[in-house]
Amino acid sequence: MTIEDQIKHYMAENILFSDNGFEYEHDVSFIQEGILDSIGVLELVDFVKNTFGVEVYDQEVTIENFDSVDKLADYIRRKLAVNENQAANEKMPFAKSLSA
């Protein structure tokens, strides 16, 4: 299941209460289409934290990161990449000190 599919599945089940899945294109704005309300944004943040194990800071909860399936998937990929880099650095403290 791709990140996009996971987002769509969550949105359909928990935000839209839809039996027909997520019926929008990946670039459709959640806010402009009324797909997300304020509480929905908080629920989406909770979903991202729990499903992908990434830390979401308040200043990152923006339209640029959370307003469509595409934007959110990109954001999650960026956060996962940061997590992977950090994990790699922790495993190789020698490489970290070299890069510093």
Partner 1 sequence: MVLRCFPLEFRLKHALAAARFCARLWTSLSLGERSQITHNLLSLDKKLSKDNLSRIISSHYETHSWNFVINDLLPHLNSSQIKSFSEVHGLKHLEDALGKGRGSVLLSAHFGAHAYIILAVLRAYGCPVKAVLGQELRPEGNASRFYRKTIDPVRSSPRRVLPILDRGLVPPTDIAAPLKRNEALFMLGDMHLTEKQVALERQVLPVPFLWGTARVRTGPMRLPKLLGAPVLPTFSVRRNDRVIVEIEKALNLSHGRSRQDLTADMRLYLKRLEKRIRSAPDQWGHIRHENIPNWIRPCPGLGNTRIHSDKTKLGPQFI
Binding site for partner 1 (CB under 8 A): 13-17, 34-35, 37-43, 46, 58, 61
d(CA 86, CA 25): 33
Minimum CB distance to partner 1, residue 7 (Å): 15
Minimum CB distance to partner 1, residue 25 (Å): 16
Query: Of 58 and 90, which has the nearer Cβ to partner 1?
Result: 58
Query: Of 63 and 81, which has the nearer Cβ to partner 1?
Result: 63
81 contacts: CB under 8 Å, gap ≥ 6: none
As given in the structure block, the two tokens for residue 66 are: 């959370």
